[in-house]
Structure 1
């Protein structure tokens, strides 16, 4: 059982690397650290989920046999690895398309059924937001954002992590583009800390759509244990989900987000007593230049409505005597 859980964790690490290639908006450092953390956490939780009651055959090195590949040198190994990855990437892309279609079908079905009782706005995501909201809240997500994160957790568990990461990528893109936090009662983005916690929570291969992949892959390695694998795969999925959630909790405890000046300017009343406002305004002034018109360099140059933030900084906080504000 422990071996089954460990193999699931190995599959998780492969999925994370490919996820980064498909969705570049997802934080790479969080994915890498979550993948590294998954291995020891999977071993620990698998021992709790299915404790060993007999002496393991692998306590001695003489019982461990590691198969070697047929490659003769590093170039041949690199070529073989690249060729082998083509099928993996194609399989992930095909699954992503298929499960997006399934999600659209499920939402249409729920909407039709809900419309019969006067609630056509019912969707799969809405149901997940209520079912998994306590889980998201206990991970450290603020209450007003926990429903959105719960949707992503449900999407990952019942569909796959690629669909969930795609939705998380959209939320991050909305935040970077300066969209309002809530439009029409629907949250458009979540905080940076919540994004990181969610990245850890979604970092896993444990979902219902992967059960067949796990059974098929591991049965090919050991056909005589197919029955045992099939009987344990659901427990392995639950264990893998717990691994991701535990890692997310640890990330929530340790992560300290850097100051997001763009978000602060969008929600702040520019209080003169706010030290963060002072710091962000000073950073904005350092990026400001004047050659007949005011323009901004660096990251500030691509921020929407940066001129409005600039003039607000000049008007508040006792910064009107800053040279660039006197132009």
Structure 2
């Protein structure tokens, strides 16, 4: 049933579209048809994935696959690291079972295994055809041209820099609006490897965690396209003719070669994630230490988290979160923006069941599921400087706006999910 909470989430839709329109480079070119179509597409995708028994069973199967993948990964981790992997047979008396969950041994190895599997599925052409299928959907339903549509689809599964690699030869000829759109979509979604990692983090506190995370990344792509088109409207005169040929892709010599090279690529991602988390958490801790020297406010010391919670609480409420949870939800949005979504998901998973409303946890899962954070600005600058060096100055000028658009895109997705009946998600 549609109730006051669902109507509350529609406030978020209006606020996000209004903010993007106000910051648009051409307010008169608001894409009304695209806005209606993109929001309808998101709602239809969510309703279909959770409403149709066959698709819902597929999402449930994805959850079981994540559990199996996590268990299999732990077998490999335990072989290398022994009891440090959190195995039941600990050599010392166990007083805190929760302490067995160590991020470095339980989450990062999953990314490594998924990257290897993704390379294998690409070599077998399974992932390639899935990507092309989504590309056709985006091309037909959202009016994208062939190359940007393919890159948008690839970004959902491969990541914010890896996706555009498939149209590398076309990047120089894209219009400014299309280039901005790719940057925005990259920060609106997550990669296949991190989807599994997030589901692993949340599975103890969120039913059907894998289904929600997978759905979040897919349906946030249309949101990213929409907000990018509002902020930087399409200019048909700037679009050069394209004839989409064979995309630039990784070619593997054999299945074993795919696994080995996929593992190497995964190792680079794992090290990047670990290093980024260490640096950004350390920097925030330094700032919190300085803020702690100031007089207490409200009986507690000042901190980055408290400040971000206050700033983003109204936005969190507009997404459909109960006001009593808005402070915490706002701090999670701030953590996602400053400390990466990994930190935000870890903190969301640390909130005990019952401490916040189940609806809040579901909405925040969708709001946090994207690469829009400060670290991604550097990742995109480095990546696009290699992919299309002649347009580096353009990327520098739009990457921060793309981060803001990607951040709002996941919030738009969360609002649309919040506006839908809770019974659809089993609650």
Q: TM-score, normalised by structure 1?
A: 0.68
Gaps of 5+ in 2: 1-176
| CA displacement 1:227-282 (0-9 Å, x = unmatched) | 0000010110111011100000011112516788xxxxxxxxxxxxxxxxxxxxxx
Is residue 416 of structure 2 the alignment partner of residue 250 of structure 1? Answer: yes
Secondary structure class of the residue paired with 2:235? coil
Is residue 216 of structure 2 the alignment partner of residue 20 of structure 1? Answer: no
Query: For 1:55-134, what aligned pairs fall within 5 Å after superposition?
Result: 55=237, 57=239, 60=242, 62=243, 66-115=247-296, 121-134=301-314
In 1, Cα distance between the equivalents of 2:231 and 2:245? 24
Q: 1:151 aligns with which of 302, 307, 331?
A: 331
1:64, CA displacement in angstroms? Answer: 5.0
Secondary structure class of the residue paired with 2:422? coil
1:79, CA displacement in angstroms? Answer: 2.9
Structure with a larger share of its residues in helix? 2
Q: Which residue of 1 aligns with 2:165?
A: none
Q: Return closer, same or farther for 1:259/1:67 CA change in 2, 3 Å cut-off.
A: closer
In 1, Cα distance between the equivalents of 2:411 and 2:397? 23
Query: For 1:30-45, what aligned pairs fall within 5 Å after superposition?
Result: 30-45=212-227
Q: Which residue of 1 aligns with 2:383?
A: 217
Q: 2:347 aligns with which of 151, 167, 190?
A: 167
Secondary structure class of the residue paired with 1:113? coil
Is residue 315 of structure 2 the alignment partner of residue 135 of structure 1? Answer: yes
How much is the aligned-residue C-alpha RMSD, in angstroms?
Answer: 2.5
Q: Return closer, same or farther for 1:81/1:58 CA change in 2, 3 Å cut-off.
A: farther
Q: Return closer, same or farther for 1:16/1:69 CA change in 2, 3 Å cut-off.
A: closer
Structure number with bigger Rg? 1
Q: 1:207 aligns with which of 357, 373, 381?
A: 373
Q: Which residue of 2 aligns with 1:52?
A: 234
Q: Residue 18 of structure 1 contacts residue 89 of structure 1 at CA under 8 Å; is this kept in 2? A: no
Q: Residue 58 of structure 1 contacts residue 64 of structure 1 at CA under 8 Å; is this kept in 2? A: no
Q: Which residue of 2 aligns with 1:234?
A: 400
Q: Residue 276 of structure 2 contacts residue 375 of structure 2 at CA under 8 Å; is this kept in 1? A: no
Query: For 1:162-311, what aligned pairs fall within 5 Å after superposition?
Result: 162-171=342-351, 174-175=352-353, 189-254=355-420, 256=422
Secondary structure class of the residue paired with 2:395? helix
Q: Residue 16 of structure 1 contacts residue 203 of structure 1 at CA under 8 Å; is this kept in 2? A: no
| CA displacement 1:160-192 (0-9 Å, x = unmatched) | 111111100101xx22xxxxx6xxxxxxx2111
1:18, CA displacement in angstroms? Answer: 5.6
Q: TM-score, normalised by structure 2?
A: 0.53
1:21, CA displacement in angstroms? Answer: 6.5
Moved more, 99-108 or 227-236: 99-108
Secondary structure class of the residue paired with 1:67? coil
Larger RCO, structure (CA 8 Å, separation 6 or more):
2
Q: Return closer, same or farther for 1:90/1:125 CA change in 2, 3 Å cut-off.
A: same
